C-alpha cells in the first residue's frame, strides 16, 4: 500500500506539474498575441475595397472581454470616420490603387458630418481621375449622401433608395408614470432644455418643437445642398414630395425608381458589380465569380500608417455621453480624458492640443473635470483648438470653452447651454400596495433624497439652487470664452440648440473647418513648420487589438443587418425601443446634475446598448421595470 501511495503521489505531482506548465504556456501565448503589432498589409494593385458592414463613428467603442462573454454575441462593427477618409484620400495618389470601391450592403449608418468628410475624400479620388464605385441593397439618407460623391452608384435589383429626412418621434412617459404613481422631481434651468420633458409631459412643448424645427430644417437644407452639388441630376423633391407616387411611376420597382430619380446610376447584383470593377482594375478568378484584384481597408491602413514626421499635435477625443470615471473609448469618461490631457502636457512631447468633440454632453462633474484639464493645458502655454464633429452640445460645449479657436461644420449641432437633474420617487406607488416609510431625522436633509418616502422641500430647494448655480457657472464660462457678458450669453442659451451655421453667426464658434483645419491652426499657433496629429487614447493594441481582430474588423464577419427594404427601415426604427431603456435608465440613475442634450439624439438613429452589456444590462432593466410594476 505504501508503494501504491508513493506512485500515486508521483502521478499527482506529474499531473500538477503538467497543469502548471500548460497554464504558463497558455498565458505566454496570450501575452504574445496581445503584444503583437500590426504588420504591413499585403496591398495589391487593383481596387481599394471598403466594406462598411457596420456604423461610422468618431471613436470606436472599447471592447470589454468579460462583457463580451456575457452578451453571447459579437458587437456590431464600428469604423472611425477619420480612418475611412484617410484611406480614401491616400488612395488618390497611390499608383497601386486604380479605383475605390465602397460596399454599403450591410451599412448601419453614420451621422451627417462624417458622411460629408468621407464624401470629400471621395471627391479627391475622382479629381485624380480614378473611379469611385458604390453599391448597396438599400440606400437611406446617409448612404445616399455617400453615393452622391461616387462616379458610379449601383443598387441591387431587389433594392432601392429611400430618403426620409431628419426628424421622428420622441417618447414621453408622463402618463405611464402617472399610472404607476411615480413622481419625477425635476430641477432645471433653460426654457428650451427639453431633456426633462419626457418625464413631465405627454408631448413636446411649443419651445421644443420650435427649436427642433429650426435644427432639422438647417440639417435638411445642408444635406440637400451637398447631395445636389455632388450629383446635380438627383431629383430630391421627386423622391420626398410623394414617395408612393414616385414609386408607382416605376411600377413599384424601387431600384428603377432610384435610377430615374438620379440617386443611383446602375442596377445590378453583386456579381455584376464585381465584374464591372474587374473590367476597371483587373479580374481575379481565384476570388470566384465577380472577383477582382484589390485590397481591404484593414490591409491598406496597415500598409499606410498615419504620418509621424514633424512636431506632434495631441488630439484628444471626447465622443459619446460624458460620464464620471474611466469609461471609454466610445464614451467620454471624465477621469480618463482629463488624465490623457494632463499626461500629454506633462510629457512635453506635444506642441499643441486639439480636442475633438462629438458628444451630446452628460455629467456636470465629468464635463468640468475635462474642461479644467484643457484649461491647465492652455495655462501651460499650449495652443488649444476645439474641433466639433456632429455634436458638441450642452456638456459637449462646456468642455469646449477653454479653447482659443473653435471649429465646427454647418451640420454640427451645438449650444444647448442649460442644466437639469431628475430624481424619481415612489412613495405613492408603494402606498398603493400598503407600504409606507417613516423614521427619525436629525436635519431636514437626513436620508435625502428619499426615493421611497418622498423628497423634502428643503432638499428640493437645495437641488434647484444647485442646478441654478451650475447654469450661472456655465454662462460665465461661455461668456469668458466668447468675450461677452453672461447676460448676452443667456439670451442665446436657455438650453437652445443651434446648427453650426447659426452658431457661427451668433458667436458660439469661430469658423467652419474639419479636424485637419483645427490641427493646422494649432500647429501654426505653435510655430511648427511641419507637424502630425497624434490621437491619444486610441491605441488598438493589447486587449483591444486582439479582440478587434477576433471580431473581424476587416469586414469578414457576417452582419445582422436586415436584408430587405422594409426590414432595414424597421430595424432602424427599433432604436426607439432602446430609447425607452435609455430614458428609463437615465431617470433611474443617480448621476446628479446633467448638461445633456436629449433632443440631439433625434438627429440620427439611436444605437442599441452595446451587446457587451448582455445579461448584466438585462438584469438591471428588469430591476428598473420592477420598480414601476
3-state secondary structure of 140: coil
Q: Which candidate, 469, 473, 500, 501, places its Cα nearest to that of 489?
A: 473
Identify the active-site residue in 194, 295, 394, 400.
394
Q: Which candidate, 519, 524, 515, 331, places its Cα nearest to that of 408?
A: 515
Q: How far apart are the first and last CA of the chain?
A: 66
Burial class, 107, CB count within 10 angstroms (exposed 0-12 / middle 13-18 / buried 19+): buried
Angle at CA of residue 97, ends 93 and 98, nearest 5°:
105
Active site residue 527: no
Q: Which candidate, 145, 286, 172, 295, places its Cα nearest to that of 228?
A: 145
Angle at CA of residue 614, ends 610 and 619, nearest 5°:
120
Grid cell in block for residue 246: 414616385
The Cα 299–Cα 555 span in angstroms is: 11
Spatial contact of 119 and 151, defined as CB atoms under 8 Å apart: no
The Cα 231–Cα 151 span in angstroms is: 9
Burial class, 260, CB count within 10 angstroms (exposed 0-12 / middle 13-18 / buried 19+): middle
Active site residue 270: no
- Count CB-CB contacts under 10 A for residue 64: 17
Spatial contact of 377 and 344, defined as CB atoms under 8 Å apart: yes
Identify the active-site residue in 193, 194, 331, 548.
193
Grid cell in block for residue 363: 455629467
Grid cell in block for residue 32: 504574445
The Cα 609–Cα 122 span in angstroms is: 31
* Residues designated catalytic: 193, 394
Amino acid at each position: 500500500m505504501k508503494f501504491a501511495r508513493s506512485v500515486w503521489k508521483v502521478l499527482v505531482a506529474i499531473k500538477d506539474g503538467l497543469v502548471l506548465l500548460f497554464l504558463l504556456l497558455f498565458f505566454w501565448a496570450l501575452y504574445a498575441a496581445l503584444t503583437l503589432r500590426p504588420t504591413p498589409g499585403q496591398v495589391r494593385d487593383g481596387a481599394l475595397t471598403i466594406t462598411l458592414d457596420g456604423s461610422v463613428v468618431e471613436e470606436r467603442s472599447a471592447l470589454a472581454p468579460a462583457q463580451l462573454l456575457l452578451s453571447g454575441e459579437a458587437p456590431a462593427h464600428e469604423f472611425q470616420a477619420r480612418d475611412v477618409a484617410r484611406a480614401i484620400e491616400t488612395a488618390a495618389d497611390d499608383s497601386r490603387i486604380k479605383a475605390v470601391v465602397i460596399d454599403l450592403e450591410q451599412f448601419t449608418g453614420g451621422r451627417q458630418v462624417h458622411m460629408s468628410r468621407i464624401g470629400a475624400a471621395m471627391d479627391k479620388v475622382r479629381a485624380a481621375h480614378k473611379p469611385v464605385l458604390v453599391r448597396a441593397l438599400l440606400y437611406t439618407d446617409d448612404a445616399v449622401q455617400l453615393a452622391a460623391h461616387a462616379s458610379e452608384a449601383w443598387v441591387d435589383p431587389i433594392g432601392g433608395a429611400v430618403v426620409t429626412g431628419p426628424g421622428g418621434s420622441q417618447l414621453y412617459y408622463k402618463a405611464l408614470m402617472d399610472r404607476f404613481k411615480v413622481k419625477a422631481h425635476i430641477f432645471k434651468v433653460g426654457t428650451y432644455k427639453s431633456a426633462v420633458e419626457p418625464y413631465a409631459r405627454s408631448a413636446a412643448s411649443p419651445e421644443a418643437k420650435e427649436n427642433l424645427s429650426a435644427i432639422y430644417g438647417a440639417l435638411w437644407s445642408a444635406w440637400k445642398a451637398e447631395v445636389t452639388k455632388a450629383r446635380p441630376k438627383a431629383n430630391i423633391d421627386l423622391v420626398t414630395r410623394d414617395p408612393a407616387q414616385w414609386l408607382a411611376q416605376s411600377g413599384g420597382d424601387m431600384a428603377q425608381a432610384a435610377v430615374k430619380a438620379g440617386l443611383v446610376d446602375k442596377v445590378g447584383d453583386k456579381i455584376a458589380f464585381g465584374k464591372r470593377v474587374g473590367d476597371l482594375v483587373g479580374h481575379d478568378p481565384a476570388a470566384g465569380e465577380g472577383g477582382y484584384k484589390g485590397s481591404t481597408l484593414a490591409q491598406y491602413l496597415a500598409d499606410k500608417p498615419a504620418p509621424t514626421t514633424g512636431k506632434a499635435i495631441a488630439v484628444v477625443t471626447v465622443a459619446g455621453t460624458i460620464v464620471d470615471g474611466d469609461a471609454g473609448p466610445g464614451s467620454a469618461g471624465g477621469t480618463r480624458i482629463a488624465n490623457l490631457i494632463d499626461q500629454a502636457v506633462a510629457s512635453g512631447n506635444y506642441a499643441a492640443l486639439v480636442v475633438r468633440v462629438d458628444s451630446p454632453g452628460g455629467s456636470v462633474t465629468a464635463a468640468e473635470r475635462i474642461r479644467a484639464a484643457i484649461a491647465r493645458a492652455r495655462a501651460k502655454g499650449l495652443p488649444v483648438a476645439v474641433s466639433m464633429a456632429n455634436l458638441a452640445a450642452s456638456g459637449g460645449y462646456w468642455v469646449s470653452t477653454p479653447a482659443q479657436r473653435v471649429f465646427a461644420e454647418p451640420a454640427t449641432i451645438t449650444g444647448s447651454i442649460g442644466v437639469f437633474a431628475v430624481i424619481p420617487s415612489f412613495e405613492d406607488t408603494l402606498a398603493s400596495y400598503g407600504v409606507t416609510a417613516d423614521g427619525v431625522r436629525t436635519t431636514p436633509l437626513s436620508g435625502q433624497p428619499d426615493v421611497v418616502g418622498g423628497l423634502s422641500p428643503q432638499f428640493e430647494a437645495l437641488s434647484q439652487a444647485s442646478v441654478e448655480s451650475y447654469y450661472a457657472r456655465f454662462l460665465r464660462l461661455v461668456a469668458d470664452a466668447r468675450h461677452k457678458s453672461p447676460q448676452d450669453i443667456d439670451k442665446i442659451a436657455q438650453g437652445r440648440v443651434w446648427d453650426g451655421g447659426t452658431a457661427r453667426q451668433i458667436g458660439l464658434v469661430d469658423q467652419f473647418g474639419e479636424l485637419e483645419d483645427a490641427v493646422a491652426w494649432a500647429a501654426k499657433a505653435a510655430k511648427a513648420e511641419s507637424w502630425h496629429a497624434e490621437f491619444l487614447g486610441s491605441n488598438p493594441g493589447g486587449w483591444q487589438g486582439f479582440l478587434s481582430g477576433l471580431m473581424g474588423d476587416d469586414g469578414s464577419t457576417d452582419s445582422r443587418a436586415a436584408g430587405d427594404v422594409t426590414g432595414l427601415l424597421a430595424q432602424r426604427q427599433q432604436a426607439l425601443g432602446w430609447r425607452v431603456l435609455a430614458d428609463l435608465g437615465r431617470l433611474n440613475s443617480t448621476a446628479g446634475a446633467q448638461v445633456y442634450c436629449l433632443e440631439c439624439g433625434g438627429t440620427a438613429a439611436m444605437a442599441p446598448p452595446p451587446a457587451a452589456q448582455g445579461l448584466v444590462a438585462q438584469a438591471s432593466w428588469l430591476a428598473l421595470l420592477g420598480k414601476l410594476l
